[in-house]
């Protein structure tokens, strides 16, 4: 049986800086997870991913990641995405200090 | 130390220029990521979790003071002021921007360094014993052979698209400090009837299917090195599986075909191509050897060392753990620990790099080494200079006396950086080291190799750690599996998995229980953790790891 669809966001890395980025409601890229558009529908998520993959001049390695609606916006549900949204745990580098 | 020939220089410069053009074409949209990715990987540029990562080769771990300063300059100019030294004698920068990478490569080329073949299915950076040329126990310095292999393998037209990556390590001593038995080809210099040659080992590897390499030739005369290696890689290139990435390494080729078949094929190919090697390589080798001559070692008084050893307990503790016998009695090999308790294993700040470069220049003939255990070495130090060196290191946070002890941990970048990771490794290493320091037991515990990988790829060598820790993702939670009894040396062994994994909170107490159990179990202080494990087997260590199930069984 196929797994039931769980809500997703589209995420990638910015081409030049490599920063983690998220596809927003208005089709732009944000560095903040909570700005991401949350897809509750599998087809829409796949279509958004396919469209994102065409923006090769701006982004690298787009994929769908699980997320859940939080108070300020979508939140990561898996620890990998939580680390991507904050930065490494051994130094105060990356998003945890830059955003 | 080896200096580039005009050919090397021109080659590296032309690669930088090529890559600069490729980056421009990627940024202006003329290259897609699918087209660009193999090109960037050929130049050591990865995309990790938070940013790009540039992997720079430090061939056979040897680096000059000037090169070390340039690494510091690169860290300050285009990264966040530090670098990560890895188990394959590379340095990784974790935060470069794509547009800056050509400039970084140019800055590397200025000091005869590069990032070529640090990735991709090619012959990778050739690694070696970090004590090469200084250790008392070696037949000969292995680095000239490593350099010869580097020249032969760089851009070798037959070997740019191997079934999978290919790693070679060379050592000059029986005591294996280069982990040659976990490489695709491991070479050990040996002497037979007055002639120098190699013991050749193939098919070692870690990753998801760990294997200890097997001897394919007991004695290979020195002059046959290149044709024989070419024969090995040729047979692998022809026979190695391209249908399944997980079965593509030579370890699987050897496993599936058997070492005897491999040997026959290799020897046959070797006979065929041997005549093509007319001796040019041997002339080259002679020239290379001259560049690796031991620097002029000074004679002189070692009284300052002896006085400090008597008077200063901090110096003594450091001398006892961080010094290794040099082949000249008045000299020592200094290992600088970049494993201060609680810090990231293998990371050095640009200030620390510059200090180490200064010390190398002032006291150690301008030469440094990077070890696969992620430390930095001053290979030729007169003992009279040791107190001054120690004082300078201590002031810079580099005086930790822990080489070979529980807090001298190998850890891969894990999920703090690596896109392939299934769990973090660095915080576990930091916490173990911090705990060991609180307990003040590591000198009591003695030699103990803890090695941590953040996924099954085993970049952190966990399979060959006395205690190996593998981080996994179990249903969305980090989970750490423990293996015991691994050994990376000439008595190489793959560790045995003990049982169910531990959560991130449980793993450090579990490692602590193992160390305390060992202190109870050893029959004398001289018996190391590994020896005790070999004598007693799993059972008492399992009991220490899983006290609850032990209690249940007893009930
Ligand atoms: C962060 C980027 C990295 C990536 C993408 C990566 C990828 C891999 C992969 C896929 C393997 C398994 C190869 C196989 O079994 O065929 C592997 C093995 C290995 N890597 Fe890495 N690695 C990374 C970082 C490192 C670092 C930082 C080190 C050194 C500390 C390292 C050293 C090794 C070693 C020693 C092995 C095992 C030996 C072998 O069987 O090849 N890698 N790596
Ligand atoms: S072992 Fe896994 S997590 Fe660690 S560096 Fe290698 S690929 Fe990344």
Is the model's pLDDT at B1 over the cut of 80? no
| Mean pLDDT, chain B, integer | 95
Could you identify the atom of ligand 2 that is nearest to the CA of residue B414?
Answer: 3
Residue recorded with tokens 């000299």: B331
For B542-551, write each residue's pLDDT tens digit: 999 999 876 6
Decide if B416 and A90 are in contact by the 8 Å CB cutoff.
yes
Distance CA B494, CA B291 (A): 37
Decide if A18 and B417 are in contact by the 8 Å CB cutoff.
no
Chain A residues lying within 8 Å of B32, measured CB to CB: 56
Give the pLDDT score at B22. 97
Distance CA B401, CA B532 (A): 24
User: Per-residue DSSP letters for B406-440?
Assistant: TT--EE--GGGT-TT-SS--HHHHHHHHHHHHHHT
Contact B450, B467 (CB under 8 A): yes
Distance CA A94, CA A13 (A): 13
Give the gap in angstroms from C-alpha B471 to the nearest C-alpha of chain A.
Answer: 13
Chain A residues lying within 8 Å of B473, measured CB to CB: 79-80
Question: What is the mean predicted confidence (pLDDT) over B491-502?
Answer: 97
Give the gap in angstroms from C-alpha A46 to the nearest C-alpha of chain B.
Answer: 20
Proximal ligand: closest to the CA of B86: 1
For B206-260, write each residue's pLDDT tens digit: 999 999 999 999 999 999 999 999 999 999 999 999 999 999 999 999 999 999 9
Give the pLDDT score at B464. 97
Give the pLDDT score at B2. 81
Is the model's pLDDT at B125 over the cut of 90? no
Residue recorded with tokens 């490593």: B146
Alpha-carbon torsion angle B261, B263, B265, B269, nearest 10:
180
Proximal ligand: closest to the CA of B119: 1
pLDDT band with cut points at 50, 70 and 90 for residue B170: very high
Of B117 and B280, the one with more pLDDT? B280
Distance CA B443, CA B260 (A): 45
CA B285–ligand 2 middle distance (angstroms): 35
- Tallying the residues shown for chain A, one arrives at 99
Secondary structure of residue A76 in the 3-state scheme: strand
Contact B68, B356 (CB under 8 A): yes
Decide if B427 and A93 are in contact by the 8 Å CB cutoff.
no
Domain positions in chain A are: 8-91
Residue recorded with tokens 């249940």: B552
Contact B429, B452 (CB under 8 A): yes
For B149-161, write each residue's pLDDT tens digit: 988 998 788 888 8
Nearest CA to ligand 2 atom 2: B455
Could you identify the atom of ligand 1 that is nearest to the CA of residue B410?
Answer: 30
Q: Tell me the two tokens of residue B22.
A: 């490729």
Distance CA A90, CA B416 (A): 8
Give the pLDDT score at B555. 54
How many whole angstroms from its chain centre is CA A17?
Answer: 16
Is the model's pLDDT at B5 over the cut of 70? yes
Q: Tell me the two tokens of residue B502.
A: 């531990």
Chain B interface residues facing chain A, Cβ-Cβ under 8 Å? 26-29, 32-33, 47-52, 80, 94-99, 344, 347, 415-417, 421, 424, 426-427, 430, 473, 476-478
Could you identify the atom of ligand 1 that is nearest to the CA of residue B179?
Answer: 35
Chain A interface residues facing chain B, Cβ-Cβ under 8 Å? 13, 15-20, 56-57, 60-61, 77-80, 83-84, 87-91, 93-95
Contact A8, A38 (CB under 8 A): yes
How many whole angstroms from its chain centre is CA B73?
Answer: 23
Note every long-range contact of B137-141, with CB atoms under 8 Å and residues 24 or more positions apart, other chains counting.
Answer: B137/B173, B137/B174, B137/B175, B138/B171, B138/B172, B138/B173, B138/B189, B138/B327, B139/B172, B139/B173, B139/B189, B139/B190, B139/B191, B139/B196, B140/B172, B140/B189, B140/B196, B141/B172, B141/B289, B141/B292
**How much of chain B, in percent, has pLDDT values that exceed 90?**
89
Decide if B95 and A91 are in contact by the 8 Å CB cutoff.
no
Give the pLDDT score at B206. 95
Side-chain half-sphere exposure of A88, counting CA atoms within 13 A: 23
For an interface test with A, which of B48, B51, B345 has the most A Cβ atoms less than 10 Å from its Cβ? Answer: B51
- Residue B336 has what DSSP assignment? E
**Which residues fall within 8 angstroms of residue A42, CB to CB, at 6 or more apart?**
A5
Decide whether any atom of ligand 1 lies within 6 Å of the B518 Cβ: no
Give the pLDDT score at B347. 97
CA B521–ligand 2 middle distance (angstroms): 33
Nearest CA to ligand 1 atom 11: B457
For an interface test with A, which of B35, B50, B417 has the most A Cβ atoms less than 10 Å from its Cβ? Answer: B50
Q: Tell me the two tokens of residue B26.
A: 């990627």
Beta-strand ranges (E) seen in B13-133 are: 45-47, 52-57, 62-64, 82-85, 90-93, 127-128
Q: Is the overall model pTM greater than 0.90, yes or no? A: yes
Decide if B51 and A19 are in contact by the 8 Å CB cutoff.
yes
Could you identify the atom of ligand 1 that is nearest to the CA of residue B246?
Answer: 16
**How much of chain B, in percent, has pLDDT values that exceed 70?**
99
Give the gap in angstroms from C-alpha B541 to the nearest C-alpha of chain A.
Answer: 30
Give the pLDDT score at A2. 72
Give the gap in angstroms from C-alpha A79 to the nearest C-alpha of chain B.
Answer: 7
Considering only alpha carbons, which residue of chain B is nearest residue A57?
A: B29
Give the pLDDT score at B553. 67
pLDDT band with cut points at 50, 70 and 90 for residue B421: very high
Considering only alpha carbons, which residue of chain A is nearest residue B25?
A: A57
- Residue B280 has what DSSP assignment? H
Give the pLDDT score at B224. 97
Give the pLDDT score at B550. 66
Chain A residues lying within 8 Å of B415, measured CB to CB: 79-80, 83
Contact B12, B116 (CB under 8 A): yes
The separation between the first and the last C-alpha atoms of chain A, rounded to the nearest angstrom, is 41
Give the pLDDT score at A1. 60
Chain A residues lying within 8 Å of B344, measured CB to CB: 90-91
**Which residues fall within 8 angstroms of residue B102, CB to CB, at 6 or more apart?**
B16, B19, B20, B23
For B429-488, write each residue's pLDDT tens digit: 999 999 999 999 999 999 999 999 999 999 999 999 999 999 999 999 999 999 999 999
Question: What is the mean predicted confidence (pLDDT) over B476-503?
Answer: 97
For B304-354, write each residue's pLDDT tens digit: 999 999 999 999 999 999 999 999 999 999 999 999 999 999 999 999 999
Decide whether any atom of ligand 1 lies within 6 Å of the B458 Cβ: yes
Secondary structure of residue B103 in the 3-state scheme: helix
Q: Which of A20, A84, A93 has the CB atom closest to B80's CB atom? A: A93
Q: Which of A17, A60, A83 has the CB atom closest to B416's CB atom? A: A83
Beta-strand ranges (E) seen in B463-541 are: 467-474, 477-484, 496-497, 502-503
Q: How many CB atoms lie within 10 A of CB A93?
A: 17
Averaged in consecutive runs of 10 residues, what is the pLDDT profile of chain A (99 residues)?
87 96 95 97 96 89 96 96 96 93
CA B419–ligand 2 middle distance (angstroms): 8
**How much of chain A, in percent, has pLDDT values that exceed 90?**
89
Domains and CATH numbers, chain B: 6-109 (3.90.480.20), 135-291 (3.30.413.10), 320-395 (3.30.70.3340), 410-554 (3.30.413.10)
Give the pLDDT score at B31. 93
Q: What is the ipTM of this complex?
A: 0.94
Give the gap in angstroms from C-alpha A71 to the nearest C-alpha of chain B.
Answer: 22
Pocket of ligand 2 (CB under 6 A): B 412-414, 418, 420-421, 453-455, 457-460
Nearest CA to ligand 2 atom 6: B459
Distance CA A45, CA A57 (A): 21
CA B455–ligand 2 middle distance (angstroms): 5
């Amino acid at each position: 049986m196929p797994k039931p669809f769980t809500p997703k966001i589209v995420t990638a890395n910015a081409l030049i800086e490599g920063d983690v980025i998220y596809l927003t409601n208005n089709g732009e890229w944000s560095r903040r997870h909570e700005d991401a558009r949350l897809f509750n529908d599998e087809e829409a998520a796949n279509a958004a991913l396919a469209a994102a993959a065409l923006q090769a001049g701006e982004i690298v390695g787009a994929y769908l990641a699980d997320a859940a609606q939080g108070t300020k916006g979508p939140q990561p549900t898996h620890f990998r995405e939580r680390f991507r949204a904050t930065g490494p745990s051994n130094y105060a580098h990356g998003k945890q200090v830059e955003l | 130390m080896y200096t580039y020939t005009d050919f090397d220089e021109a080659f590296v410069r032309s690669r930088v220029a090529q890559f600069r053009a490729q980056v421009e074409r990627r940024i202006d949209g003329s290259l897609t990521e699918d087209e660009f990715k193999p090109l960037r990987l050929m130049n050591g540029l990865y995309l990790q979790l938070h940013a790009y990562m540039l992997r720079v080769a430090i061939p056979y771990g040897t680096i000059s003071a000037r090169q070390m300063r340039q690494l510091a300059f690169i860290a300050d100019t285009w990264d966040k002021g530090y670098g990560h030294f890895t188990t394959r004698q590379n340095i990784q920068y974790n935060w470069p921007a794509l547009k800056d990478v050509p400039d970084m490569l140019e800055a590397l080329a200025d000091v005869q360094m590069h990032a070529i073949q640090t990735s991709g299915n090619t012959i990778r950076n050739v690694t070696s014993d970090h004590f090469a040329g200084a250790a008392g126990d070696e037949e000969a310095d292995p680095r000239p052979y490593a350099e010869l292999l580097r020249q032969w393998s760089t851009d070798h037209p037959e070997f740019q698209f191997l079934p999978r990556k290919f790693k070679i390590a060379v050592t000059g001593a029986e005591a294996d400090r280069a982990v040659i038995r976990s490489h695709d080809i491991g070479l050990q210099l040996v002497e037979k009837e007055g002639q120098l040659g190699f013991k050749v080992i193939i098919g070692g590897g870690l990753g998801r299917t760990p294997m200890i390499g097997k001897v394919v030739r007991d004695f290979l005369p020195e002059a046959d090195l290149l044709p024989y290696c070419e024969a090995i890689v040729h047979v692998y290139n022809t026979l190695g599986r391209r249908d399944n990435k997980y079965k593509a390494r030579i370890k699987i080729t050897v496993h599936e075909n058997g070492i005897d078949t491999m040997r026959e094929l290799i020897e046959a190919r070797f006979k065929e191509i041997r005549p093509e090697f007319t001796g040019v390589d041997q002339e080259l080798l002679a020239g290379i050897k001259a560049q690796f001559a031991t620097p002029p070692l000074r004679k002189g008084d070692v009284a300052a060392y002896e006085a400090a050893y008597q008077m200063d307990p901090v110096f003594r503790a450091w001398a006892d753990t961080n010094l290794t016998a040099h082949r000249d009695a008045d000299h020592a090999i200094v290992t600088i620990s970049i494993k201060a308790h609680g810090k990231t294993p293998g990371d050095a700040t640009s200030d620390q790099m510059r200090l180490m470069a200064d010390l190398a220049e002032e006291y150690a003939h301008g030469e440094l080494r990077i070890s696969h255990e992620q430390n930095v070495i001053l290979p030729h130090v007169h003992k009279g200079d040791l107190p001054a060196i120690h004082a300078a290191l201590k002031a810079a946070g580099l005086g930790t006396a822990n080489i070979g002890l529980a807090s001298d941990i190998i850890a891969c970048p894990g999920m703090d950086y690596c896109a392939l990771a299934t769990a973090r490794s660095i915080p576990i290493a930091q916490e173990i080291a911090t705990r060991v320091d609180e307990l003040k037991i590591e000198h009591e515990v003695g030699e103990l190799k803890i090695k941590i990988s953040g996924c099954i790829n085993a970049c952190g060598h966990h399979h060959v750690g006395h205690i190996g820790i593998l981080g996994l993702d179990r249903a969305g939670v980090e989970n750490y599996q423990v293996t015991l009894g691994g050994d990376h040396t000439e008595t190489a062994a793959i560790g045995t998995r003990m049982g169910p994994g531990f959560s991130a909170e449980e793993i450090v107490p579990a490692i602590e229980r193992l160390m305390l159990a060992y202190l109870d179990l050893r029959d004398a202080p001289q018996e190391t953790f590994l020896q005790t494990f070999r004598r007693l087997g799993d059972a008492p260590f399992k009991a220490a790891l899983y006290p609850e199930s032990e209690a249940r069984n007893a009930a």
